[in-house]
Amino acid sequence: MVTAPQDGQITNWLNWSAAALVHSLEDNKQEAEWLLSSLLNCSKSELYLQKNELSEKQCELFQDWISRRIKGEPAQYIAGWTEFYGHRFNVNKSVLIPRAETERLVDVAIYTLQELEKHQIVDIGTGSGCIAISVAAEIPSASVLGLDISPEALVTAEENASINKLLNVQFLQTDFLQFTPSEPVYDGLLMTPPYIPTNEMDTLMKEVRDYEPDLALTDHEDGLTFYRHLADTAQKWVRPGGWLILEVGLGEHPQKAITCFDTKGFAQLELIADFNTDDRILKVQVV
């Protein structure tokens, strides 16, 4: 690794970190800026206006961050946060890092569900709470419940609701595959389940496979377990006229997911594309 600066000057540390990351990342300069601005709790543009120097402790911490990044740890886990739908979310190894593509699911949920009279919404596999919290922020009359099997993920989701000052969202530990409500009380069910089939886990980027929780990535089967289970139980979760809004994967996965629902008596089955024109959202109406 290139020799670290001997002083605390920000531009020296920026140049050093960008050079240190050059062989590991294409966008090495942007990541170096993002990590250093996270460490100093300022914006990227403020970095270049800072008069202060890094303290000795900050220099040591930043060196540790850069060596972790070189080994492949995602920048968001190192800095402990990310941005999603314009909100700040704490992240750690117990939650999936919210993906930009998932913002499309939030768009679809907002325009579909705010038209309804009532807004009782459940978010299954809530993780960091990014979907539940973003929808709760955009539909203030909504009452949103985020469910997850992982107690550690739920601690992070609670923290994120508090950071974002939202009172209309709650979280509960539930195993979706084991629990079915006795009667439907929701108008919308949102879900981004673990949908990577076991045999595709090896094709994931090292950064994802080695650092993000297995529980969030794969159902350890064919990637359709959660869709099949929902197709069998949806009428117990969602009132007639309500909606299921689900994220699906790439390739053949959207078509395979749709077949889980198409003979089970649902009204409308629609695949909605994201901004890259990939079909990534499956919207299904309960009758």
Q: Is 125 in the site for ligand SAM (CB under 6 A)?
A: yes
Q: How many CB atoms neighbour CB 256 within 10 A?
A: 17
Q: Is 216 in the site for ligand SAM (CB under 6 A)?
A: yes
Residues in the chain: 287
**In the complex, least distance from residue 25 CB atom to ligand SAM, rounded to whole angstroms:** 22
Question: How many whole angstroms separate alpha carbon 76 and alpha carbon 38?
Answer: 10
Nearer to ligand SAM, 38 or 192 (CB): 192
The owner of tokens 């929902």 is 230
**In the complex, least distance from residue 233 CB atom to ligand SAM, rounded to whole angstroms:** 12
Question: How many whole angstroms separate alpha carbon 48 and alpha carbon 37?
Answer: 10
Stretch that binds ligand SAM, among 30-38, 43-51, 171-179, 254-262 (CB under 6 A): 171-179
* DSSP conformational letter for 72: T
CA–CA distances in Å: residue 153 to residues 135, 150, 156, 243 = 18, 5, 5, 25
Nearer to ligand SAM, 42 or 149 (CB): 149
**In the complex, least distance from residue 193 CB atom to ligand SAM, rounded to whole angstroms:** 6
Question: How many whole angstroms separate alpha carbon 51 and alpha carbon 246?
Answer: 48
Q: Give the three-state DSSP class for 66.
A: helix
Strand order of the β-sheet with 238-247 is 169-173, 143-148, 120-124, 186-191, 238-247, 279-285, 269-273
Q: Is 126 in the site for ligand SAM (CB under 6 A)?
A: yes
| Of 4, 25, 42, 177, the one binding ligand SAM by CB under 6 A | 177
The owner of tokens 């993920």 is 153
**In the complex, least distance from residue 285 CB atom to ligand SAM, rounded to whole angstroms:** 22
Q: Is 115 in the site for ligand SAM (CB under 6 A)?
A: no
**In the complex, least distance from residue 159 CB atom to ligand SAM, rounded to whole angstroms:** 14
| Of 192, 227, 235, 257, the one binding ligand SAM by CB under 6 A | 192
Q: Is 225 in the site for ligand SAM (CB under 6 A)?
A: no
Q: Is 175 in the site for ligand SAM (CB under 6 A)?
A: yes
Q: Is 215 in the site for ligand SAM (CB under 6 A)?
A: yes
Q: How far is CA 163 from the centre of its chain?
A: 16
Question: How many whole angstroms separate alpha carbon 287 and alpha carbon 276?
Answer: 31
The residues of the shown chain that bind ligand SAM, judged by CB under 6 A, are 96, 98, 102, 125-128, 130-131, 147-150, 153, 174-177, 192-194, 215-216
